[in-house]
Structure 1
Amino acid sequence: MTDTSSNPQTAVATVATEHASRYLQQLCKHFAHKLPVTFDETAGQIDFSIGSCRLVAADGVLTLTLTAQDGSEMPQLQDVVVRHLLRFAFREELAIDWRPA
């Protein structure tokens, strides 16, 4: 019998920005065209085929929590989220530092 279970992995980044809610909404609206997304002004979730991204905006901080269905997919999930966030935040330089959750 073959083991087909996945090895989920979670990573979290806190991003200091006065535009946390704006970026949360922009990311969610952008991905909602092709993916299942739920969001409001302070929280959202984007469901990718390889995992999910939970977003929380509060007091000048955007918290991103990624859960990859398989740990080997985490770099790709991080790359997709970061590239899009940086595109929306082109007016400021954001520090995005991922840590295991």
Structure 2
Amino acid sequence: MSTITSTATVATDRAARYGKQLASHLSRRSVTHWDASTGTGTLEMGDGAAHADLVSTPEALVITLTTAPDNADLYEDVIGRHLVRFGHRDELVASWTRSDGSTGTTQVHGKDGPDAP
């Protein structure tokens, strides 16, 4: 099976808080893990169809998603949409860059979807 990697570096000084909230929220339908001591976590979505690593830094939450190319738009949108909704007061933006050079999606609060800036 062919896979693609998408990365979003979401600028925020509260990356660990948002990473924990994202993992907690998505745990209802996914297998998630958050380690508060390291500020890192994982998401296993769609019965193994997608895997995401979450890493908090002082400047950003870095999300690295691995999935089939046909699923990239879907999982970028699910992760990014939830994250920017949580961080609407901080005006978070999730803009994805793909390993194959194709354009990823962008999620902005109130402007989700493929036509977002």
Which range, TM-score by smaller chain? 0.7 to 0.9
1:13 Cα deviation (Å)? 1.2
Q: Which residue of 2 aligns with 1:61?
A: 60
Greater relative contact order (Cα < 8 A, sep 6+): 1
RMSD over equivalenced CA pairs, Å: 1.1
**Kindly, what percent of the aligned residue pairs are identical?**
33
TM-score w.r.t. length of structure 1: 0.87
Runs of 4+ in 1 over 3 A off after TM superposition: none
1:53 Cα deviation (Å)? 1.3
Q: Larger Rg: 1 or 2? A: 1
Q: Which residue of 2 aligns with 1:83?
A: 81
Measured in 1, the distance between the counterparts of 2:90 and 2:65 equals 23
- Gapped runs of 5+ residues in structure 2? 100-117
Q: Which amino acid aligns with 1:46?
A: L
Aligned residue-pair number:
95
- Gapped runs of 5+ residues in structure 1? 1-5
Describe the superposition over 1:23-79 as per-residue Cα deviations: whole angstroms up to 9, x where unpaired. 0000001111222111112100010012011100011211000001x1110000000
1:95 Cα deviation (Å)? 3.0
Q: Does 1:32 align with 2:27?
A: yes
Q: Which residue of 2 aligns with 1:51?
A: 50
Measured in 1, the distance between the counterparts of 2:35 and 2:26 equals 14
TM-score w.r.t. length of structure 2: 0.76
